[in-house]
Structure 1
Amino acid sequence: MNALLSDWTTPFGLPPFDAIRDEDWGPAVDVALEEARAGIAAIAGDPEAPTFANTIAALERADERLGRVLGAFHAVAGAASNDARQALERDFAPKLSAYSSEITANTALFARIDDLWERRDSLGLSREEMRVLYLTHRGFVRSGARLEGEAVQRMKDVKARLAVLGTQFTQNVLADEREWFMPLSEADAEGLPDFVLQAARAAGESKGQGGPVVTLSRSLIVPFLQFSPRRDLRRKAYEAWVARGANGGATDNRAIAAEMLALREERARLLGFGSFADWKLETEMAREPARVKDLLMQVWTPARAAAERDAAVLEGMLRADGHPGPLEPWDWRYYSEKRRAAEHDLDEAALKPFFQLDRMIEASFAVASRLFRLEFREIEDAPRYHPDVRVWEVTRDGRHMATFVGDFFARDGKRSGAWCGAMRSQSRLDGEVRPIVTNVCNFAKSEAGPSLLSWDDARTLFHEFGHALHQMLSDVTFESISGTRVARDFVELPSQLYEHWLEVPEVLEDFATHAETGEPMPRDLRERLLAAATYDMGFQTVEYVASALVDMAFHDGPAPADPMQRQAEVLESLGMPRAIRMRHATPHFAHVFSGDGYSAGYYSYMWSEVMDADAFAAFVEKGDPFDAELAASLERNILSAGGSEEADALYTRFRGRMPGVEALLKGRGLVAA
Structure 2
Amino acid sequence: MVDTANPFLTPSTLPYQLPPFADIRDEHYAPAFAEGMREQAAEVAAVARNPEPATFENTFLPLERSGATLGRVARVFSNKCSSDSSEFTLQLEEELAPQLAAHQDTITLDPALYSRIQAVHAQLDALPLDAESRYLVERYSTEFTLAGAGLSAEQKETLRDYNQRLSTLTTRFEKNLLSDTNELAVVIDDVAELDGLAPGEISAAAEAATERGLTGAYLLTLVLPTGHPALADLTNRAVRERVMAASRARGIRGGQHDNRDLILQITGLRAERARLLGFDTHAAAVTADQTAGTPEAVAAMLVPLAAAAAGNARAEQAQLQAQILASGETFELAAWDWAHYAEAVRRTTYAVDTAAMREYFELEKVLRDGVFYAATLLYGVTFTERSDLTAWHPQARVFEVKNEDGSPVGLYIGDFYTRDSKRGGAWMDSLIQQSTLLGTPTIVMNNMNVPKPAAGEPTLLSYDEVNTLFHEFGHALHGLFAQSTYPKFSGTNVYRDFVEYPSQVNEMWMLWPEVLANYATHYRTGEALPRQLVENLRASSTFNEGFATSEYLAAALLDQAWHSIDADTHVTDVAAFEVEALAAVGLNNPAIPPRYASTYFAHTFSGGYDAGYYSYIWSEVLDADTVAWFTENGGLTRTNGERFRTRLLGVGGTKDPLEAYRDFRGRDADVQPLLDRRGLN
Q: Give the structure-2-normalised TM-score.
A: 0.95
d(CA) in 2 for partners of 1:503 and 1:23? 47
d(CA) in 1 for partners of 2:515 and 2:192? 40
Deviates more, 1:361-370 or 1:414-423: 361-370
1:393 alignment counterpart: 400
3-state DSSP of counterpart to 2:651 = coil
Read off the aligned partner of 1:631 and give its amino acid letter. Answer: G
Deviates more, 1:92-101 or 1:297-306: 297-306
Structure 1 regions of 5+ residues with no counterpart?
A: none
Question: Are 2:43 and 1:32 equivalent residues in the alignment?
Answer: no
Read off the aligned partner of 2:45 and give its amino acid letter. Answer: A
Q: CA deviation at 1:182?
A: 2.4
Instruction: Assess if the C-alpha contact under 8 Å between 2:226 and 2:244 holds in 1.
Output: no
d(CA) in 1 for partners of 2:228 and 2:538? 21
CA offsets, 1:616-661, max 9 Å, x none?
A: 1011112x21233332221122101112211221111111222232
Instruction: Assess if the C-alpha contact under 8 Å between 2:225 and 2:596 holds in 1.
Output: no
Question: Are 2:49 and 1:50 equivalent residues in the alignment?
Answer: no
1:439 alignment counterpart: 446
Question: Are 2:69 and 1:65 equivalent residues in the alignment?
Answer: yes
d(CA) in 2 for partners of 1:328 and 1:180? 21
3-state DSSP of counterpart to 2:479 = helix
Read off the aligned partner of 1:573 and give its amino acid letter. Answer: A
Question: Are 2:611 and 1:607 equivalent residues in the alignment?
Answer: no
Question: Are 2:643 and 1:633 equivalent residues in the alignment?
Answer: yes
Deviates more, 1:48-57 or 1:321-330: 321-330
1:202 alignment counterpart: 207
3-state DSSP of counterpart to 2:359 = helix
Select 1:665's aligned residue among 661, 666, 675. 675
CA offsets, 1:334-371, max 9 Å, x none?
A: 11112212122222332101111111111111111111
Q: CA deviation at 1:7?
A: 4.2
Read off the aligned partner of 2:280 and give its amino acid letter. Answer: G
RMSD of Structure 2 on Structure 1 (CA): 1.6
CA offsets, 1:502-542, max 9 Å, x none?
A: 12111111111111112221222222233333331111110
Select 1:381's aligned residue among 383, 388, 391. 388
Q: CA deviation at 1:218?
A: 5.8
Q: CA deviation at 1:110?
A: 1.2
d(CA) in 2 for partners of 1:125 and 1:68? 29
Question: Are 2:279 and 1:268 equivalent residues in the alignment?
Answer: no
Instruction: Assess if the C-alpha contact under 8 Å between 1:560 and 1:566 holds in 2.
Output: no
d(CA) in 1 for partners of 2:497 and 2:32? 34
Question: Are 2:130 and 1:130 equivalent residues in the alignment?
Answer: no
CA offsets, 1:582-611, max 9 Å, x none?
A: 00000010110004x211111110010011
Select 1:242's aligned residue among 243, 248, 254. 248
Q: CA deviation at 1:543?
A: 0.2
Select 1:418's aligned residue among 399, 412, 426. 426
3-state DSSP of counterpart to 1:520 = coil
Instruction: Assess if the C-alpha contact under 8 Å between 1:35 and 1:63 holds in 2.
Output: yes
d(CA) in 2 for partners of 1:532 and 1:663? 17
Deviates more, 1:446-455 or 1:491-500: 446-455
Read off the aligned partner of 2:231 and give its amino acid letter. Answer: L
d(CA) in 2 for partners of 1:439 and 1:652? 29
Q: CA deviation at 1:236?
A: 1.3
Q: CA deviation at 1:216?
A: 1.0
CA offsets, 1:230-258, max 9 Å, x none?
A: 22221111011012111211111111111
Same amino acid, percent of matched pairs: 38
Question: Are 2:576 and 1:569 equivalent residues in the alignment?
Answer: no
Query: Where does 1:119-158 land on structure 2 (aligned, <5 Å)?
Result: 119-158=123-162
Read off the aligned partner of 2:407 and give its amino acid letter. Answer: R
Read off the aligned partner of 1:139 and give its amino acid letter. Answer: E
Q: CA deviation at 1:403?
A: 0.8
Q: CA deviation at 1:383?
A: 1.7
d(CA) in 2 for partners of 1:197 and 1:272? 54
Question: Are 2:499 and 1:491 equivalent residues in the alignment?
Answer: yes
Query: Where does 1:9-408 land on structure 2 (aligned, <5 Å)?
Result: 9-184=13-188, 185-210=190-215, 211-217=217-223, 222-321=228-327, 323-362=329-368, 363-396=370-403, 397-408=405-416
CA offsets, 1:368-423, max 9 Å, x none?
A: 11111111111001121111000011111111111111100111110000010001
d(CA) in 2 for partners of 1:76 and 1:149? 36
Instruction: Assess if the C-alpha contact under 8 Å between 1:94 and 1:163 holds in 2.
Output: yes
Q: 1:44 to 1:27 in 2, by over 3 A?
A: same
d(CA) in 2 for partners of 1:191 and 1:429? 56
Instruction: Assess if the C-alpha contact under 8 Å between 1:492 and 1:605 holds in 2.
Output: yes
d(CA) in 2 for partners of 1:445 and 1:532? 30
Query: Where does 1:399-548 land on structure 2 (aligned, <5 Å)?
Result: 399-431=407-439, 433-447=440-454, 448-548=456-556
Query: Where does 1:583-598 land on structure 2 (aligned, <5 Å)?
Result: 583-595=595-607, 597-598=608-609
Structure 2 regions of 5+ residues with no counterpart?
A: none
Q: CA deviation at 1:321?
A: 4.6
d(CA) in 2 for partners of 1:520 and 1:229? 28
Instruction: Assess if the C-alpha contact under 8 Å between 1:392 and 1:403 holds in 2.
Output: yes
1:650 alignment counterpart: 660
Q: 1:497 to 1:560 in 2, by over 3 A?
A: farther
3-state DSSP of counterpart to 2:414 = strand
d(CA) in 2 for partners of 1:649 and 1:146? 29
3-state DSSP of counterpart to 2:191 = coil
Instruction: Assess if the C-alpha contact under 8 Å between 1:218 and 1:442 holds in 2.
Output: no
Q: CA deviation at 1:139?
A: 1.2
Q: CA deviation at 1:201?
A: 1.1
d(CA) in 2 for partners of 1:508 and 1:455? 12
